[in-house]
């Protein structure tokens, strides 16, 4: 096997966290290399540029790797889970396909043990991360409105919020009548010219890539700046395992398959893993050695455990008044009315709401046919006109508490194209999550009825809702109960760091990307403060 020149820092994964760490560490002038198993995306080929955009949701730009089955994907055995794993493998990772909804965790999320007697407190808190939230907002280009009472007052998005549209007005007025919190949501979508990026022009269908460049995926935010600063990004490079020096137990590089399928060894002085809550656990478990027979950095037996997904409920309503349909960014309002613990509800912690617009022409027809709303025959067209562009959605994002039996292991049979074992998911919904879903559905139904909905539909949990892959290599001060310390360094291997969503101690009740990136910037800052001992 040929040996390549060593690098100072090797980053595995170019998504939300890997890109942020690469950019932050670049000012040290160290030699930094990022290995990405996918490739650069051409925005001219995104679905929103063609009429077949809905069909491509179920093909090459599907959110599920098991459906896409692209050369850059690896299979996932999620048969034993009511929630299926979603991700994307490319420069930018899953930020290519995310909805760009961009809340932060709340201050309370870092202290759930102290406040509510469940799970564990994080070894960091909101106050420590606040400057990195702000820095990430500037780099990402976040739109929103200052003053949301759900957050500390200093939170100030750099751009004005997205337009509310008809849908936002209808739901906002209903929430006012109910006396419930709502606010224009933070979104990683530009509302004006920003750092060379054009503003959103309501092309619609943000999920499968933004051809306008208004949605902030890291291939157009962090990576251009990191590459200008000297970081090398090597694509089509699938990492099989992290290697360790048998004498010292320190990480000394990785074995990966290059673009031609040739096995390579890349030596490194420091290794940073940013492969998401499924990919990171898979990689560590596959990195076995005599010193680490149960997987790398896994003396605690916590690698792969405590998987948290965020169980989603989708509650949608049909209205006599025409709504925005699928025009414009899908999410422009949120509510954190039911976020904090209220024991009278019968569960601990809580959830947030995302207010969504409608769906496309084909998806509306498919779903309405399947649910019996859209008949064949003489009434077909008249009924369809009452459904299409007359729909709004409330998605409830429920906090998922860490449970050790919810986990990622290596599948004994299923492998990827290079023979690397696939991840196997074992996950069940807790009683706490089920009660939370019940409450969220009942209150969302009330809100939609108040807004004028004449018919309601529900999905719980959303089957294809496993966007948020958290907790499988969690942070903590106790090495027997966690994988990394309070600044992302693994307890077992002093020059191995993890920066993605797998290090979350708890999940909160909001989309995690903003917090993942703030954590990555915080960890990079801690590494820079310790450069003198980083390689020890």
What is the per-residue pLDDT for 362?
Answer: 86
Strand order in the sheet with 183-184: 183-184, 331-335, 351-356, 391-398, 312-319, 453-459
What is the per-residue pLDDT for 55?
Answer: 86
Q: Please name the residues in contact with 159: beta carbons below 8 A apart, sequence gap of 6 or more.
A: 141, 142, 143, 144, 190, 191, 192, 194
Which domains are seen in the chain, by residue range? 7-358+390-529 (3.50.50.60)
Q: Which residues of 26-58 are buried (b: 16+ CB within 10 A; e: fewer)?
A: bebebbbbbbbbbbebebeebbbeeeebbebbe
Residue pair 423/80 in contact by the 8 Å Cβ criterion = no
Encoding tokens for residue 136? 């990430």
Encoding tokens for residue 37? 């198993």
Would the CA dihedral through 287, 288, 291, 297 be positive or negative? positive
Tell me the angle at which helices 16-25 and 126-140 cross, rounded to the nearest 10 degrees.
Answer: 90
Looking at residue 116, the DSSP 8-state letter turns out to be H
What is the per-residue pLDDT for 202?
Answer: 80
What is the per-residue pLDDT for 1?
Answer: 60
| pLDDT, tens digit only, all 536 positions of the chain | 667 899 999 999 999 999 999 999 999 999 999 999 999 999 999 988 888 888 888 889 999 999 999 999 999 999 999 999 999 999 999 999 999 999 999 999 999 999 999 999 999 999 999 999 999 999 999 999 999 999 999 899 999 999 888 889 999 999 999 999 999 999 999 999 999 999 998 877 778 888 889 999 999 999 999 999 999 999 999 999 999 999 999 999 999 999 999 999 999 999 999 999 999 999 999 999 999 999 999 999 999 999 999 999 999 999 999 998 887 777 789 999 999 999 999 999 999 999 988 888 888 888 889 888 898 999 999 999 998 999 999 999 999 999 999 999 999 999 999 999 999 999 999 999 999 999 999 999 999 999 999 999 999 999 999 999 999 999 999 999 999 999 999 999 999 999 999 999 999 999 999 999 999 999 999 999 998 777 66
CA dihedral 364, 367, 370, 374 (to 10 degrees): -30
What's the pTM? 0.97
What is the per-residue pLDDT for 50?
Answer: 85
Q: Measured between alpha carbons, how far is 133 from 157 in angstroms, rounded to an integer?
A: 10
Q: Please name the residues in contact with 90: beta carbons below 8 A apart, sequence gap of 6 or more.
A: 14, 36, 38, 39, 40, 41, 72, 96, 219
Q: Please name the residues in contact with 491: beta carbons below 8 A apart, sequence gap of 6 or more.
A: 297, 299, 300, 479, 482, 483, 484, 485
């Amino acid at each position: 096997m040929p040996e390549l020149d060593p690098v100072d820092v090797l980053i595995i994964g170019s998504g939300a966290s890997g890109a942020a760490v690469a950019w932050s560490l670049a000012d040290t002038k160290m030699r930094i290399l990022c290995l990405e198993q996918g490739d650069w995306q051409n925005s001219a080929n995104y679905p929103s540029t063609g009429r077949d955009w809905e069909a491509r949701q179920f093909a090459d730009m599907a959110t599920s790797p098991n459906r896409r089955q692209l050369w850059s994907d690896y299979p996932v055995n999620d048969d034993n889970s009511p929630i299926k794993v979603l991700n994307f493998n490319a420069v930018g990772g899953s930020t290519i396909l995310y909805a760009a909804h961009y809340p932060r965790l709340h201050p309370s999320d870092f202290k759930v043990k102290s406040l509510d007697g469940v799970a564990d407190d994080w070894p960091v808190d909101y106050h420590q991360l606040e400057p990195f939230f702000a820095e990430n907002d500037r780099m990402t280009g976040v739109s929103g409105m200052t003053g949301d009472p759900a957050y500390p007052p200093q939170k100030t998005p750099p751009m004005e919020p997205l337009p509310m549209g008809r849908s936002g007005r209808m739901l906002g007025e209903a929430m006012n009548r109910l006396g419930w919190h709502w606010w224009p949501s933070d979104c990683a979508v530009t509302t004006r010219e920003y750092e060379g990026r054009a503003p959103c022009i309501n092309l619609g269908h943000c999920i499968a890539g933004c051809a306008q460049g208004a949605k902030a995926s890291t291939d157009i935010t962090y990576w251009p700046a990191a590459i200008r600063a000297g970081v090398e990004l090597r694509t089509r490079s699938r990492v099989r395992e992290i290697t360790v020096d048998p004498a010292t137990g320190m990480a000394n590089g990785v074995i990966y398959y290059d673009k031609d399928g040739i096995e390579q060894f890349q030596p490194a002085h420091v290794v940073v893993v940013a492969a998401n809550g499924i990919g990171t656990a898979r990689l560590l478990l596959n990195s076995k050695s005599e010193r680490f027979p149960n997987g790398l950095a896994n003396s605690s037996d916590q690698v792969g455990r405590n998987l948290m997904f965020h169980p989603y409920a989708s509650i949608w309503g049909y209205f006599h008044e025409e709504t925005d349909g699928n025009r414009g960014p899908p999410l422009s309002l949120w509510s954190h009315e039911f976020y904090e613990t209220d024991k009278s509800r019968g569960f601990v912690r809580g959830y947030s709401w995302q207010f969504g617009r409608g769906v496309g022409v084909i998806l509306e027809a498919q779903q309405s046919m399947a649910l019996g709303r859209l008949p064949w025959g003489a009434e077909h067209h008249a009924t369809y006109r009452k459904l299409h562009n007359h729909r709004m959605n409330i998605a409830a994002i429920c906090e998922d508490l860490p449970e050790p039996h919810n986990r990622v292991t290596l599948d004994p049979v299923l492998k990827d194209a290079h023979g690397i074992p696939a991840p196997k998911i074992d996950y069940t919904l807790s009683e706490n999550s089920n009660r939370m879903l019940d409450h969220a559905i009942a209150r969302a139904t009330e809100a939609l009825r108040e807004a004028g909905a004449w018919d309601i539909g529900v999905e719980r949990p959303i089957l294809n809702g496993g966007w948020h892959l958290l907790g499988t290599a969690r942070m903590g001060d106790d090495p027997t109960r966690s994988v990394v310390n309070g600044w992302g360094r693994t307890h077992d291997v002093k020059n191995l760091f993890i920066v993605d969503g797998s290090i979350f101690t708890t999940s909160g009740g909001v989309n995690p990307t903003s917090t993942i990136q703030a954590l990555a910037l915080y960890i990079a800052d801690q590494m820079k403060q310790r450069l003198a001992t980083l390689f020890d």
